[in-house]
Amino acid sequence: MKDMAPDYIPTLDDVIAAHERIKPHIHRTPVLTSSYFNQLTGAELFFKCENFQKAGAFKVRGACNAVFGLTDEQAARGVATHSSGNHALSLSYAAGRRGIPCHVVMPRTAPQAKKDAVIGYGGQITECEPSTTSREAVFAEVQARTGAEFVHPYNDPRVVAGQGTCSRELNEQVEGLDAVIAPVGGGGMISGTCLTLSNIAPHVEIYAAEPEQADDAYRSFKAGHIIADDAPDTVADGLKVPLKDLTWHFVRNHVTDILTASEDEIVDAMKLTWARMKIVMEPSCAVPLATILKNPEVFRGKRVGVIVTGGNVDLDKLPWFKN
Amino acid sequence: MKDMAPDYIPTLDDVIAAHERIKPHIHRTPVLTSSYFNQLTGAELFFKCENFQKAGAFKVRGACNAVFGLTDEQAARGVATHSSGNHALSLSYAAGRRGIPCHVVMPRTAPQAKKDAVIGYGGQITECEPSTTSREAVFAEVQARTGAEFVHPYNDPRVVAGQGTCSRELNEQVEGLDAVIAPVGGGGMISGTCLTLSNIAPHVEIYAAEPEQADDAYRSFKAGHIIADDAPDTVADGLKVPLKDLTWHFVRNHVTDILTASEDEIVDAMKLTWARMKIVMEPSCAVPLATILKNPEVFRGKRVGVIVTGGNVDLDKLPWFKN
């Protein structure tokens, strides 16, 4: 089976333009270090804390780039997406900053806390049934009615270029990086990382980290073509979606390797990070550290950037409480 | 009843000397801001994140100052304290950095996690029964046997001078502060804050924040003499101890006001900070924000430094889980 070629592959110029465009709307997030984790791993780890980002996740970079790149005419009709996660929050935040509508299609079964968060950022929710058929039908109806611009959570050059600004900052903040590791779900962050670093620091190794229970990117990488899973289940709920043509392009061409971790390893790494670094981060963000702890020989002696992708976690349902 | 006068009251010179002495052993912790909390309170809040400090709390400042100020002869005999909290961790850390023994007397009933943490930092635990009589007897025996230098958790000029380095950094990091707020338990941090700011920025108002259920400092402040409670109970477990002569000196002379918050207000502020700022902090650290949310008129329009004192919390026993 031949994979589709993407329509447009963003360039470093797109990343630089994105960075200028979104700077007023995002944080230049800090990089934290931990002597505890350095001792434990034998590597020098530099945690790029996108959990401190606006709307609590890196996705605001891509969302802002898409929203603020629209013409006034496009913008007047608003933006639309289907997501119940950080992309919905981020697009709502970005649209709010520009003062335009943001339409979000969400399953009616999504947790009320997620709906409230989207509404809190000014998004307008249209509910669908929890099925792909219903979601697509409802989304088509919303788009037809509003003329809103669709901003895909990751398979969109504007979004990938926006996410690429994160490793551009990281490369400025940390001298002499040997490697960078980020989680891979749909592949927006890892693609932005590949795009930027392959241009400005091509010697830096790029690792993607994935849950064993949603390892479609790992299997795609080994097979040489996209393998999409049907409804994988993992605590790292941001990483359940499959690669698409644009993100597969970057993974295939620029990723050094993909490493995986079990559910227990992810939860242990998450809890250990909260306990030792005193930061709140999502299960998805713990996957890179879990794979570093599992494969210390890959990282020992290296200066490694670790992208902490977000901090939007339900504090009433922490995964180390088994009940 | 007349309060005892302290033997020695530390000066700004002591703070400056402490800062030079401890710099190689502590973090200059970052200051975080939150547009969410600024909107909510109408103030500009600057969170000084001592939860990111070495050993997870500001107390490492005072502990390092005491340990690294010892002569070689004193140091050879080690240091000793009685504490089951952050002071025990911090003194163990400081002693470990100097390569000398640290003796900690702890009730045998203290949680194993706290004992493990002290041992993890190299402290040597001697257990006592959970009573003041037993603690004092065991501590006297340890001190007689070892000749170790006693470092009190707060009623010690070396400790107060060390804690004073925190607001010295804060005043460098944030221009034009109008007020600073910190929790008050025994009063080590608030005293260091008073000591430093009354010298270098005497126009800055200094607020102390205390749990309603352990409001001995509040009642002392109103009464004009120390009132010590017998075993107060609060979720803010770092704030149960009473003021002593040295810390009372600073509270009486330099604190603008003491504000209190209920248990529910403290837990709500704690959870809200985790959710919005993505940082892990102790219940004690949430007391200042709880009092700001309760008394917005005191802080509105002001630039307020908020000292986040520590992040050592039991992740298996979070106070918003009622079971």
Q: Where are the domains of chain B?
A: 12-57+156-308, 60-150
Mean pLDDT, chain A, whole residue set: 94
Cβ pair A52:B30 closer than 8 A: no
> Cβ(B3)–Cβ(B246) under 8 Å?
no
pLDDT at B112: 83
Paired with B79 in beta bridges are B102, B149
Dihedral of the alpha carbons of B93, B94, B97, B98, in degrees to the nearest 10: -140
Binned at pLDDT 50, 70 and 90, residue B5 comes out as confident
Nearest residue in B to A120, CA atom: B36
Longest CA span, chain A:
57
Total CB pairs under 8 A between chain A and B:
45
CA distance readout (Å), B72 to A255, B21, B68, B88 = 54, 15, 9, 22
pLDDT at B109: 86
Could you say which of 3.40.50.1220, 3.40.50.1100, 3.40.50.720, 3.40.1550.10 is the CATH number of the domain covering B60-150?
A: 3.40.50.1100
Same topology, domains A12-57+156-308 and A60-150? Answer is: yes
Assign a CATH topology to domain A12-57+156-308: Rossmann fold (3.40.50)
A132's tokens: 């792909």
Phi and psi at A26, nearest 5°, equal: -125, 165
CA distance A151 to A154: 8
Residues written for chain B: 323
Cβ pair A56:B321 closer than 8 A: no
> Cβ(B46)–Cβ(B303) under 8 Å?
yes
Residue A8 at interface with chain B, using a CB cutoff of 8 Å? no
pLDDT at B84: 74
pLDDT at B79: 98
CA distance A252 to A319: 32
pLDDT at A76: 97
Mean pLDDT value across residues B145-156: 96
**Higher pLDDT, residue B230 or B168:** B168
Sheet holding A149-150, edge to edge: A124-128, A102-107, A79-82, A149-150
Cβ pair A274:B280 closer than 8 A: yes
Q: Could you report the per-residue pLDDT of B115-126, keeping only the tens digit for each? A: 998 999 999 999
Q: Could you report the per-residue pLDDT of B170-197, keeping only the tens digit for each? A: 999 999 999 999 999 999 999 999 999 9
Q: Could you report the per-residue pLDDT of A117-130, keeping only the tens digit for each? A: 899 999 999 999 98
Binned at pLDDT 50, 70 and 90, residue A3 comes out as low
**Higher pLDDT, residue B248 or B85:** B248
**Mutation choice for A interface testing from B52, B278, B314, B315 by most A CBs within 10 A:** B278
CA distance A162 to A14: 8
Mean pLDDT, chain B, whole residue set: 94
Residue A281 at interface with chain B, using a CB cutoff of 8 Å? yes
Dihedral of the alpha carbons of A291, A297, A300, A303, in degrees to the nearest 10: -50
Prediction ipTM score: 0.91
Which chain A residues contact residue B319 at CB under 8 A? none
pLDDT at B3: 54
Q: Could you report the per-residue pLDDT of B262-287, keeping only the tens digit for each? A: 999 999 999 999 999 999 999 999 99
Residue A321 at interface with chain B, using a CB cutoff of 8 Å? yes
**Higher pLDDT, residue A162 or B238:** A162
**Mutation choice for B interface testing from A58, A278, A308 by most B CBs within 10 A:** A278
Which residue from B29, B35, B78, B18 is spatially nearest to B57, judged by alpha carbons? B29
pLDDT at B1: 41
- Helix or strand (DSSP H, E) at B291: helix B283-294
